[in-house]
Amino acid sequence: MPILNMVGMLQRSVVDANGDPDKAIVDTQQIRGALKELPVWNDENLLTIKSDFRHVASIAKVGSSYYFYKGADTEDVNWGNTGNWSTIATFFDVGNGSVTTAVIDSDGDLQITLTGGATLNAGPVVGDQGPQGEQGIKGDTGDTGAPGSGVTIKNTLTIAQILAVQDPVVGDMYIASATGTSGGMSVTAGDGIVFTGSWTNVGPIRGPEGEEGPQGSQGESGENGAPGNNGAAATVSVGTTTTLAAGSQATVTQTGTSAARVFNFGIPRGADGSGGSGGGGGTLSAALTIDTTVGNLSGGTYAAGTSIETILRDIFEAPYQAPPTKYISSGYLRNGSTSLSTSITKNYGQSITFDRVHWSTGGTTGTPTATTIYAEDETPYFARTLNDSSSPATFASATIKMPYSGFASNDHKMHVKLNNTKGDGTGGGVKTVCTITYKTPKYFGGYGSNLSSPTTALINSLAGQDTNWNTSKGQTFIGNSSTNTGYMYIAYPAYYGALTSFQTSAAPGVPQLSGLTQISSNFSYTVNGQSITLRVYKSYNSGICTPGTTVTIG
């Protein structure tokens, strides 16, 4: 077999140590024993082979002969010694036969086996890694991707509530209200959770910084501080009183300290006069300021020329105080012999009837007068002129109730008030003698038909199933068999505005308002003989409210 063919067989027979047939072909450029042709076989020509070709099992050619390197290393002293090279022809001519296998062992060496049983370790097959090649030419721009779908921010909930949302739509996004883990998903407060067929955490959601808001209103005044400790009590006493010569100026001198003042008086003797008159007519020669309590005098300033008699009267005589005048302090209504409470609760459409008002008085002198009695936010309009000074005051019987128009501005309350004057004829003000708080109805239940607008029959049916009376929109109902199988309807007074929340105990904390449809915002209905305007919602979601399930609206 020619030597060139033997080399070709070596190259075509190489497989890996596991016999992988996919590696049966080895590129000649990957074999460290790459071929190098020399003009003459001697040490000097071997040394001309560059280090790039110096490897164990390197192959050199001289004429028609082939040699492979079998030395231990590629230093010049070994590489340039022809004794470290063997001819391939000689190796095969000694009866070793042809190549049967050529396998790369676990160390990366080429192990050759011949038909005669001889073996040859041809050394490493793969050369050292070459330098990195130049960067390739930039590829063509890919096709434009399909348009992405937008997201709709729905609400801010905990991760447990988000994962429990029913029937989410691709693109729905909820903002995590708190840090936590549920259903294998961990979130941080503020993360966006998007439904793309399954729930995906897209990380923190933060919009651009908004403009600075207006300055807030001034806060309420703080509470009064605790009272301070009492100061030391000051004392005032009269020192000496000296009689001065008639016609001389009266004098008042102050001695002592600011905490213990002493006043000394000098009073001129009155000149002798006819008829026994005279004396005590002295006046101040300069202004006098008294800054503490002296007898009945609680401080004050007296101008020059003020008589001493005036000052002494202020000190030793108590001022006159008139007794307090009478006034109306409280009152209540009666209907015949039945007294009405000053605070009453009624359902919408119910009325109160009364025909007299009683009152109590405070003060000691004079007689107060009840002038008029009237009601606020009532129907029909009620007012009576009384001008009565003795309790009770009677009048033609009145029956009143709160109109629908009054609810939006008066917190469900109607007031009956009494005007009066005090015993001295001055204004006594207004006293509230009765406050009536009205509750309005909220209706909930099921109806077999799918109505696009409400009817009286519908509301009558709901009223027979579940009617709650209260003074706020928020309300809790309990489901029954009708709400479980038919269309569910909710009706409540329109002045509360649109629903802002709808939840069930079956999915606590999960908003389901999107499942309701408003079919009227101004349906007129009669309650206790009085008209009321209702908002009406419906839902058909079988099983949303099974018997015993609570429904909360707000």
Q: What is the Cα 261 distance to its own chain's centre? A: 65
Which helix (H) or strand (E) is 503 found in, with range? strand 502-504
Q: Is the pLDDT of residue 552 over 90?
A: no
CA distance 536 to 520: 5
Which of 80-84, 231-235, 348-352, 404-408 bottoms out in mean pLDDT, i.e. has the lowest? 231-235
The tokens describing 188, both together, are 């941080």
Residues 6+ apart with CB under 8 A from 313: none
pLDDT tens-digit readout, 327-344: 998 999 999 999 999 999
- Scored b (16 or more CB within 10 A) or e, 247-261 reads eeebbbeeeeeeeeb
pLDDT tens-digit readout, 136-179: 788 788 777 666 668 898 899 998 998 989 889 888 999 999 99
Q: How far apart are the first and last CA of the chain?
A: 99
Q: Which CATH fold topology does 327-436 show?
A: Immunoglobulin-like (2.60.40)
Virtual torsion, Cα 76, 80, 81, 85, nearest 10 deg: 110
441 prior amide bond cis, ω within 30: no
Average pLDDT over residues 517-526: 92
pLDDT bracket for residue 183 (50, 70, 90): confident
Residues 6+ apart with CB under 8 A from 104: 14, 15, 16, 17, 23, 110, 111, 125
Taking the model in full, what pTM does it have?
A: 0.44
Residues 6+ apart with CB under 8 A from 66: 3, 4, 7, 59, 60, 87, 88, 89
pLDDT bracket for residue 257 (50, 70, 90): confident
Instruction: Please compute, for residue 121, the number of CA atoms within 13 A of its CA located in the half-sphere on the CB side.
Output: 11
Q: Which residue reads 């016609």 in tokens?
A: 247
Pairing type for strands 35-37 and 14-15 reads unpaired
Residue extents of the structural domains in the chain: 3-124, 152-197, 327-436, 440-553
Q: Which residue reads 């696009």 in tokens?
A: 452
CA distance 149 to 351: 59
301: left (phi over 0), alpha (psi -120 to 50) or beta: beta
Question: Is 59 in contact with 68 (CB distance < 8 Å)?
Answer: yes
pLDDT of residue 21: 46
Per the DSSP assignment, residues forming a β-bridge with 237 are 262
Average pLDDT over residues 199-208: 82
pLDDT of residue 4: 32
Q: Is the pLDDT of residue 95 over 60?
A: no
The secondary structure of 211-238 as a DSSP string is PPPPPPPPPPPPPPPPPPPPPPPPEEEE
Q: Is the pLDDT of residue 405 over 50?
A: yes
Q: Is the pLDDT of residue 93 over 50?
A: no
Rg of the chain (C-alpha set): 56
